[in-house]
Structure 1
Amino acid sequence: MTGGFATIAGSVLGAYISFGISASSLIAASVMAAPCALALSKLSYPELEESKFMSQEGVKLDCGGEQNILEAASNGASASIGLVANIAVNLLAFLAILDFLNAALSWFGGMVDYPELSFQVICSYVFMPVAYMMGADWNDSFLVAELIGIKLFLNEFVAYQKLSVYQKNRLTGVEEFINGRKQWISVSTCRISKS
């Protein structure tokens, strides 16, 4: 279970790649996180009883009932429809919650002459020291902290979506500074957004 939370599922990997995140960086992050997750899980919950995987019977896998590769591919695609729909609906719900929070905070901020107040601004100030300690430059840490806050409180899909917008701006040659904030786009941002 720990390994599953530490790595990226194959079904979710495709969605991240469609956002424009480097596939090699995502796979490398999963490969590096797997041994760490195993070590930490063994430290926090050591295996004291004999494992059921020590015998050949414990290692055997159940085979599916498919007769050929076409039937297996068709059944796999049919089974993934529910997962993809679930991801899309959850993403829609998280984006609606984020818009509501931003509208409410902007209304409250307007009462004290700060209508730019948003969830992202609050996250950028709260998590800025964390982003700085993770290796971001001081000027870049506000943007990285915003991504960390969105990932922690909302959803990693939303954080990766914002990251892909910043990355596309950088690749198309948009100025490095947007609204006075420097974009910090590198392989490290994928790691920070995932952790």
Structure 2
Amino acid sequence: MTVSEIFAVMTCGLASVAGTMLASYALLGVKLEYLLPAAFMAAPSGLIIAKLFYPETEKVTEEAEIEISNDTESSNVIDAASKGAANGLQIALIVGATLVAFVAIIYMINGLIGYVSGWFGFETSLQQMLGYVIAPFAFAIGIPWDEAIMAGSLIGEKLVLTEFIAFINFTEGIGQFSEKSAMIITFALCGFANFASMATMANTLSTIDSKRQKLYMKLSMKSLLGGALASMLSASIAGMFFV
């Protein structure tokens, strides 16, 4: 695969969500009529953003030219099952360890920020600070300015923590937003673009293809930005057609 193709896969992965998670979001109170189109729009939006970041400049390998390595060929069904279980366990451990590590790091950073800001008589967090940074972008995708800071804070929570936590806080304060803003925020939050998922994806790909580990790590931060922008692109398009 070319660098452009790899980046497209990574960006679309972070821009999208698993089908099982849609049911979880709906159970929280998020409207399914917004979640479903957001999920369907994630892939094309992610592909558009990915190709803007990394246009295809290399020779694309045709399907007929792809050579499949037989280095891991199994001798029988039991051998194949054993290798599959071992590889699956390795990836599961990497995913779990990465999630725990990154969530712990974020909470540590938030603790330090809260401690320092407490000296000045107020408490804040990394996601709240990002809220002010993201507010102009929230305004640009169709959210009124008086709601943009709150929306930016939710998008910041999605990036720093997870979209699930952001959806929980969104449903708790949904009365503060207009119907159009609630729809746009739903689209913007519907994606796996957060630091923990980014690290998990990069580590998983590195485990599968260790020869390109440096490339996956190099592209990880850009794919996080691309995934977040893809969700916001979907949100802005949906906002244009809101009646």
Shorter-chain TM-score category? 0.5 to 0.7
User: Could you state the TM-score of these two structures normalised by the residue count of structure 1?
Assistant: 0.63
Q: What is the match of residue 83 of structure 1?
A: 91
In structure 2, the CA distance between the partners of 1:109 and 1:75, relative to structure 1 (3 Å rule), is same
Rate the CA distance shift 1:81–1:40 in 2: closer, same or farther, 3 A. Answer: same
**Matched residue type, 1:122:** M
Structure 2, unpaired ranges of 5+: 1-5, 27-34, 194-226, 229-243
Q: Which residue of 2 aligns with 1:187?
A: 187
In the TM superposition, 1:27-46 aligns within 5 A as 27-38=40-51, 40-42=53-55, 46=57
Distance 1:190 1:17 in 2: 9
Greater Cα radius of gyration, structure 1 or 2: 1
Greater RCO structure (CA 8 Å; 6+ sep): 2
Contact 2:155 2:166 in 1 (8 A): no
Equivalences for residues 46-125 of structure 1 within 5 A? 46-47=57-58, 51=59, 53-54=61-62, 56=64, 58-62=65-69, 65=73, 75-114=83-122, 116-125=123-132
Distance 1:29 1:75 in 2: 33
**38 and 127 in structure 1: CA distance in 2 versus 1, 3 angstrom threshold:** closer
Greater helix percent: which structure?
2
Q: Which amino acid aligns with 2:129?
A: I
Q: Is the 8 A contact 1:148 1:159 kept in 2?
A: no
- 2:166 is matched with 163
Tell me the CA shift for residue 89 of structure 1.
1.7
Which residue in 2 is equivalent to 1:176?
175
Q: Is the 8 A contact 1:106 1:118 kept in 2?
A: yes
- Asked if the contact 1:125–1:145 (Cα under 8 Å) also holds between the matched residues in 2, the reply is yes
Using the alignment, how far apart are the partners of 2:44 and 2:97 within structure 1?
Answer: 29
SS in 2 for 1:20: helix
CA distance in 2, matches of 1:136, 1:52: 40
Deviation at 1:97, TM superposition (A): 1.9
8 Å CA contact retained: 2:154, 2:166? yes
How many Å separate the matches in 2 of 1:189 and 1:4?
19
Deviation of 1:8 (Å): 0.9
Q: In 2 relative to 1, CA 142–165 (structure 1 residues): closer, same or farther, beyond 3 Å?
A: same
> Is 1:133 equivalent to 2:133 in the alignment?
no
Q: TM-score, normalised by structure 2?
A: 0.53
Write the letter of the residue equivalent to 2:39: L
Structure 2 match to 1:6: 11
Structure 1 gaps of 5+ residues are none
Structure 1 Cα separation of the partners of residues 83 and 40 of structure 2: 26
Is the contact between residue 166 and residue 183 of structure 1 (CA under 8 Å) also seen in structure 2? no
The answer (yes or no) to whether the contact 1:7–1:33 under 8 Å persists in 2 is yes
Do residues 145 (structure 1) and 126 (structure 2) align? no
User: Percent of aligned pairs with the same residue?
Assistant: 19
Pair 39,111 (structure 1): closer, same or farther in 2 beyond 3 Å: closer
